[in-house]
Structures are given as structure tokens and as C-alpha cells.
Amino acid sequence: MAEPKRLLFNAFSMNCVSHLNHGLWGRDDTRQTEYLSLDAWLELAQILEAGCFDALFLADVVGVYDNYRGGPETSLQEAMQVPVNDPTLLIPAMATVTEHLGFAFTGSILSEHPYNFARRASTLDHLTDGRVAWNIVTSYLPGAARNLGFGDLPDHDDRYERGDDYLEVLYKLWEASWEDDAVVNDAAAGVYADSSKVHLINHEGPYYTVPGPHLCEPSPQRTPMLFQAGSSERGREFAARHAECAFVVGNVASSGRIVADVRARAVRYGRRPEDIKFFQALSPVIGGTEAEAKAREAELREQLSIEGGLAHMSGNMGVDLGQVDLDLPLADFDFNGVQGFFKTLAETAPDKTWTFRDLARRQISGQFATGSPEQIVARLERYAEVGIDGFNLIYATTPGTFVDFIDGVSPLLQARGLMQTEYQPGPLRQKIFGQPRLPNRHPGAAVRR
């Protein structure tokens, strides 16, 4: 018999009060309002490493969801992804109390010039011994574009065109600027780096002109492991070219279609289908029995905030749901925001007549996966059958959701060979893909000397 495919598990969180399951932050069994405390983050990292999770995935936004009912008031009152702190500053602290856990951080191509971002990522890769991944996003909140000096939010596809140029700069800085043996560290000769092996990159693209060289010596991975979360037509093309891990949302059938589509596109870029690992978003609600789990879900649903969910969706879609008819069919709108996610949800509608109200109910549910540990495992296996490689687990309470998963579901997965029981050595990419550097068939490797 073939060996079962090991699945990958990330805890999905954000450096804020309320990430996705809005309205639950006031519960007694969650540490969400302690997001300002390093103690809460250090505890979470240690729990995840003891539970053999692959990584902690940190979401981020650089704008306020401010278009619901014409302003930011609902988002502020609900702590709906605001206030929000920089996720990258948490990583070195959590790395000091762990040895193997990976850390994926979200960063927008609009929020920082690639020359400076390259240094930030390399520094994190050094300080964590190569345990970082970057989730590439192109931003979708108009307020982020305004505050970052872009005026209006660039068009959806234009943001991805900018992203291609941004990545080209980064690949040259990370992979080509410093040769592998440029650092000699010869104290006797007074030479730390051989200047003949540190190179300008002289990049001139449609959006960026960067002469170089890179400010940092080569880090363990050079290029951090690359995540990407777009599922629109242009987002899938971007993922096929650049992503090593892709984040998807949907039911088994819709996620399976995205996996097959992106992998086929990757092959056209000279890559292999297995070069991209796909992570499904799920929020596990676990009980000793199915009845206990459903009772727990009912309790959580009762506490979820409809207003917080609608404010979140309004920002995602670029449509003020406080000003539109919630019974209007989805097909009547063309979005310049996060297109792929809503198109995917529309495709899953049983009768193909979903409205914004239906979408709100689905979104506010937080992608709940409810059941006994055995039922949760069965659901994960159904996703694995259509090509899903891993899961971004969304919390209802933190760290409680992850503790429940580790205590109840992980032992069953490990007994079946579906979850690791110990970590492999080396940087994060080596743990996931078997090698610390980008493979030669990745476009980032094409710039190497």
C-alpha cells in the first residue's frame, strides 16, 4: 500500500483583536484582547510547536475597513481587524522560544519598497535560522492605497502586474546580488566580504528601478518560502508563476477545481504540479461527540457579530453592504476587491441564486468544520483527495481552538501517518519541500549567477 500523504498544518492568526470570527473576542476563554502582550504570542508558539504544527500563519492588512455604512465606525467598535499591529515584529520573539515552528507573515507589495522589504525578509530569515515564509498580497482596501500615497486603489490586474515587477526585484536581490561564498569572515586579513562577489542588480522594470546591491548577506533560505492567496483569474496566474504554497477557501469541489487549474498553469511555466502546496482554510469546532460539537457551534454562532461580518465583507468587495439590497443576486456586481473568493462562493451556491444575505451568513460562519475528532479527520481527508496538501486553521478562540485540535484530532491524524510526530531538520522550505533553496525550475532561480 502507498504511504499516506502527510498533511501540513498552520495556525491562522493576526496581530489584532478580531481576525475572522468576529464578535467572539469578549469570551472568557480567549486571549484575543491580549494581542499586545508578548506572553500570549510566546504561549501560542510553544503550544503549536509542541503540537507539531508546521507554521503560524500571520495575516495582515494596512488599511481600515471603512466603507460599511459610510465609515470606519463599525470596524472600530467591533475591533474588526483594527487596531492591528505589525506581524513581523512578533516573529523574532517567538523564534527564541521555539526551534522548528515556521512563521509565515503577510506583506503587501504596496506597503513597502522592494529594496527595503528585501532587507526585512532577509533579517527575519537570519534571526529564525530560515523559518520564515512570506504571504504575498497586492492589497484591496482603498484606504490602504490612499495612506500609502497611491491615491485611488490601482486596478485589480494592475496590482498583479506591479507584483510581478516587485518579485523580479526581490529575486535579484535575494538570489543574485551576493554569491554563496562572498562572505569570507577573515579577521586576520581584515576582510569580511569579498567585494568582487557582491553585485549590483541594475533592475529597470515598469514599476521599479533598483540598482542594488542587496544590503544583507545570504540568509539560510535566501528567498523566504512563498505563499500567495489570490484565487481570481489573474491571482491564479500569479500563483502559478511565483507561489510555493497557495491559500484557498471553498468547499471540496471548488477547492479541487482551483488546485487543478493552478497546477496546470504552473506546468506551463516549466514547473511541476507538486511544486505548489495548497492550504485549505477551515475553522474546526470539535466535540467529544457530534452532538457536543454542534452544541458548541450553535453557541459560537449565537455570539458571532453580523455587523462585524458585514463590515469585513464590505471592505473585501468594495461595496457598502449597509447601502445595498442584501437580497440582490451576486451576479449583479463586478468587484475590484477580492474577486476570487466571492466567485468561488457563488459557484458553491446549490441553486446558483445566492444573494449578499446568503453570502453574509456563509462568511460569518467562519468556515466552520464541526464534528467529533473522527469526523474532522474524515473531512480533512476529503479535501486531501482533491489535491489539498494542508490546512490553515482559523481560531474561534485562541489558543483554545488550536489546543482542542492538538488534543483531539492530531493523535488520530498522527496514527494514520497524516500529521508529523516530529520535525525534520533544516530551514522551513527544507522541512516542507526537502531543500532549503528555491528549485531551479522556479522563476526566482533563473536570476542566479
* Beta-strand relationship, 132-137 and 102-108: parallel
Could you tell me the domains of the chain? 8-296+368-447 (3.20.20.30)
- Residue 307 one-letter amino acid: E
pLDDT at 353 over 90: no
Task: Please say whether the beta carbons of 20 and 398 come within 8 A.
Answer: no
pLDDT digits (tens, 9 = 90+) for 321-331: 787 777 777 66
Cα angle for residues 114, 15, 80 (degrees, 5° grid): 110
Q: What is the pLDDT of residues 194-227, one digit of tens each?
A: 999 999 999 999 999 999 999 999 999 999 999 9
Please tell me the predicted confidence (pLDDT) of residue 256.
96
Confidence of residue 355 (pLDDT cuts 50, 70, 90): confident
* Mean pLDDT along residues 29-54: 98
The pLDDT of residue 345 is 58
Residues 421 and 108: their CA atoms lie apart, in Å, by 34
pTM of the entire structure? Answer: 0.93
Q: Which residue has the cell 491524524?
A: 413
Is residue 366 scored above 70 in pLDDT?
no
61, three cell numbers:
492588512
Collapse the DSSP code of 85 into the 3-class scheme (helix H, G, I; strand E, B; otherwise coil) and give the result: coil
pLDDT of residue 54 exceeding 90, the answer is: yes
What local confidence, expressed as pLDDT, does residue 352 receive?
Answer: 63
pLDDT of 153: 87
pLDDT at position 341 over 70 = no
Residue 88 has a pLDDT of: 98
Dihedrals phi, psi of 239, to nearest 5 degrees: -65, -40
pLDDT at 342 over 70: no
| DSSP-assigned letters across all residues of 347-364 | HH-TTS--BHHHHHHHHH
User: Is residue 390 scored above 80 in pLDDT?
Assistant: yes
Q: Is 389 helix (H, G, I), strand (E, B) or coil?
A: coil
Contacts (Cβ under 8 Å, ≥6 apart) of 227: 57, 104, 133, 134, 135, 136, 243, 244, 245, 246, 247, 279
Place of cell 465609515: 71
pLDDT tens digit string along 395-435?
999 999 999 999 999 999 999 999 999 999 999 999 999 99
* pLDDT confidence of residue 257: 95
Give every CB contact of residue 174 below 8 A, 6+ residues apart in sequence.
118, 121, 122, 214, 219, 222, 223, 444
Give yes or no for residue 236 having a pLDDT over 90.
yes
Q: Which of 408, 321, 399, 312 is nearest to 69 (CA)?
A: 321
Own/partner contacts of 23-32, CB < 8 Å, gap of 24 or more, are: 23/78, 23/303, 23/304, 23/305, 23/308, 24/300, 24/303, 24/304, 24/396, 24/397, 25/79, 27/303, 27/397, 29/397, 29/400, 30/395, 30/396, 30/397, 30/398, 30/400, 31/398, 31/399, 32/397, 32/398
Mean pLDDT for 92-106 is 98
pLDDT at 354: 73
**pLDDT value of residue 296:** 96
Q: What is the distance between the alpha carbons of residues 253 and 251, in angstroms, rounded to a whole number? A: 6
Lowest mean pLDDT among 281-285, 332-336, 404-408: 332-336
Q: What sign has the CA pseudo-torsion 123, 128, 130, 131?
A: negative
Those residues whose C-beta lies under 8 Å from the C-beta of residue 268, and which sit 6 or more positions away, are 240
Determine the 3-state secondary structure of 256 from DSSP. helix
Grid cell digits, residue 122: 532577509
Query: Residue 136: left (phi > 0), alpha (psi -120 to 50), or beta?
Result: beta
Q: Report pLDDT for 340.
A: 61
Cα 147 vs. chain centroid, distance in angstroms? 23
